[in-house]
């Protein structure tokens, strides 16, 4: 009885301690009582090594208050880290700076006459005269983000970029990143802008190719841009919009597949943090997270697009990713019934929706499932586990069919 009482007392003490931790006991300071103290948590996205490459997570299309976004550059950096990213390219518009007029108004008291400076839309944003100079420092966004990273020691690679924005229906929009000087890219003619970006060593991608367009066929203006080899990749996913036809174009024309958020507001408004689904991003297979290694990986097309637990890419890389993430082993052999039992274990943060005929198996992150496969009727040999992966997209608007390799 005494031992039982001591056991119950111990359990009660553990429960009361846990409850005290659960309600976050106040911390008493010199001048105030802090009722809640919770550090910010990063969402860790666990991904496998693929063919000896690490997988880094990048978003190469976001905006700030320096163009038509609604958050500051430093907030873009913070949320990128919280969301589990390794790389972010802030790509404010060259020609569209919606908040500039409000800033000028707010700063009017600093002027001698107390009136705001005139807001002048420069460059191609000025329809009457595209030669009008741009009067703001287009590199200020990157400078603010980079200085914040260095000051707070945040392990995020910030990439200098811009969105070259023209007519969505004809020329389309393009992101240029890994730039050296954004201001120099601001040319009246879009092809001259893209050429300047290229001369700086930038990577250029064609953004949201289906936006405001009835067809995704290349317009006459786009043909000129593509023919001059000014495009390195295509934003096959923008936010939560997938353009399946663009997977085919990327494969046919040796272009890199990208998936980006195009965030204008906080990412949490579009992609709630802390759940089982992450923000849209590009998986990059590189040796290390340096500018040189990331650029090399992007130009070699070692990417997979991720959005809402869907994976978009070339079948080769999708298959390599699946087999790197999933451990497959034979756990039983039934010669009498003529089948083998396999255990599939998912070691990454992304689920796999596996279809076998009319049967669908969901292989959740860090979980296992068992499935039986019999013998091939023609050869009489045991079949290896083969599935159509319903949350993968590849050429031809198809979900690829794949064999999961048996671990030796």
The per-residue b/e assignment along 384-396, b for 16 or more CB within 10 angstroms, e otherwise, is ebebbbbbbbbbe
pLDDT at 71: 95
Residue 2: band (very low, low, confident or very high) from pLDDT cuts 50, 70, 90: very low
pLDDT digits (tens, 9 = 90+) for 110-120: 888 888 777 77
On the question of pLDDT at 124 being above 80, the answer is no
Q: What are phi and psi of 147, to 5 degrees?
A: -65, -35
DSSP calls for 34-54: ES--------------BTTBE
Helical packing angle, 220-227 and 190-199, nearest 10°: 20
pLDDT at 40: 78
* Cβ–Cβ < 8 Å for 329, 405: no
CA angle 198–247–324, rounded 5-degree value: 100
3-state secondary structure of 29: coil
- From the list 312, 329, 323, the residue with the least C-alpha distance to 348 is 323
Quote the CA–CA distance of 376 and 357 in Å, as a whole number: 15
Average of per-residue pLDDT across 126-132: 76
Average of per-residue pLDDT across 194-208: 98
pLDDT digits (tens, 9 = 90+) for 41-75: 899 999 999 999 999 999 999 999 999 999 999 99
The reported pTM is 0.89
What percentage of the chain reaches a pLDDT higher than 90? 72
Average of per-residue pLDDT across 316-320: 98
pLDDT at 31: 74
Quote the CA–CA distance of 233 and 302 in Å, as a whole number: 11
Average of per-residue pLDDT across 391-407: 96
pLDDT digits (tens, 9 = 90+) for 150-183: 999 999 999 999 999 888 889 999 999 999 999 9
Instruction: Tokens for 192, please give them.
Output: 């001259």
| Residue count (the chain) | 408
Q: Which helix (H) or strand (E) holds 269?
A: helix 267-270
pLDDT at 11: 43
Question: Domain coordinates of the chain in residue numbers?
Answer: 54-313, 326-403
Residue 109: band (very low, low, confident or very high) from pLDDT cuts 50, 70, 90: confident
pLDDT digits (tens, 9 = 90+) for 237-296: 999 999 999 999 999 999 999 999 999 999 999 998 777 899 999 999 999 999 999 999
> In terms of pLDDT, which residue wins out, 180 or 4?
180
Average of per-residue pLDDT across 383-403: 96
pLDDT digits (tens, 9 = 90+) for 323-375: 999 999 999 999 999 999 999 999 999 999 999 999 999 999 999 999 999 99
Tokens 């049967």 sit on residue = 359
Instruction: Tokens for 206, please give them.
Output: 């064609």
Instruction: Tokens for 237, please give them.
Output: 């996913």
pLDDT at 24: 56
* Cβ–Cβ < 8 Å for 57, 283: yes
* Cβ–Cβ < 8 Å for 241, 208: yes
CATH code of domain 54-313: 3.20.20.140
The most confident of 20-24, 96-100, 206-210, by mean pLDDT? 206-210
């Amino acid at each position: 009885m005494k031992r039982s009482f001591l056991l119950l007392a111990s359990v009660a003490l553990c429960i009361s301690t846990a409850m005290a931790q659960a309600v976050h006991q106040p911390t008493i300071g010199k001048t105030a009582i802090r009722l809640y103290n919770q550090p910010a948590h990063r969402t860790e996205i666990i991904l496998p090594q693929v063919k000896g490459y690490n997988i880094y997570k990048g978003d190469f299309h976001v905006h700030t208050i320096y163009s038509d976004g609604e958050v500051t550059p430093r907030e873009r950096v913070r949320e990128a880290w919280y969301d589990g990213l390794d790389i972010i390219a802030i790509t404010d518009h060259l020609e569209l700076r919606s908040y500039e007029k409000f800033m000028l108004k707010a700063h009017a008291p600093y002027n001698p006459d107390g009136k705001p400076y005139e807001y002048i839309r420069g460059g191609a944003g000025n329809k009457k005269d595209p030669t009008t100079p741009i009067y703001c420092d287009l590199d200020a966004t990157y400078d603010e983000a980079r200085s914040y990273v260095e000051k707070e020691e945040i392990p995020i690679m910030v990439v200098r970029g811009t969105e070259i924005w023209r007519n969505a229906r004809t020329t389309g929009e393009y992101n240029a990143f890994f730039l050296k000087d954004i201001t120099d890219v601001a040319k009246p003619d879009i092809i001259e802008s893209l050429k300047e970006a290229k001369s700086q060593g930038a990577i250029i991608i064609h953004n949201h190719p289906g936006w405001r367009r009835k067809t995704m066929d290349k317009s006459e203006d786009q043909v000129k841009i593509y023919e001059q080899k000014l495009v390195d990749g295509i934003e096959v996913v923008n936010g939560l919009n997938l353009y399946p036809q663009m997977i085919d174009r990327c494969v046919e024309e040796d272009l890199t597949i990208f998936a980006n958020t195009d965030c204008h507001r906080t990412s949490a408004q579009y992609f709630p943090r802390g759940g089982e689904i992450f923000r849209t991003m590009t998986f990059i297979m590189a040796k290390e997270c340096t500018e040189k290694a990331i650029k090399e990986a992007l130009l070699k097309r070692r990417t997979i697009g991720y959005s809402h637990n869907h994976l978009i890419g070339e079948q080769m890389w999708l298959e390599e990713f699946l087999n790197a993430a999933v451990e497959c082993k034979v756990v039983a052999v039934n010669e009498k019934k003529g089948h083998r039992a396999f255990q599939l274990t998912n070691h990454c943060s992304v689920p796999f929706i596996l279809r076998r005929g009319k049967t669908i198996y969901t292989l959740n992150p860090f979980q296992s499932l068992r499935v039986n496969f019999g013998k091939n009727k023609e050869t009489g040999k045991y079949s290896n586990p083969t599935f159509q992966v319903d949350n993968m997209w590849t050429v031809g608007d198809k979900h690829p069919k794949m064999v999961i390799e048996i671990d030796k």
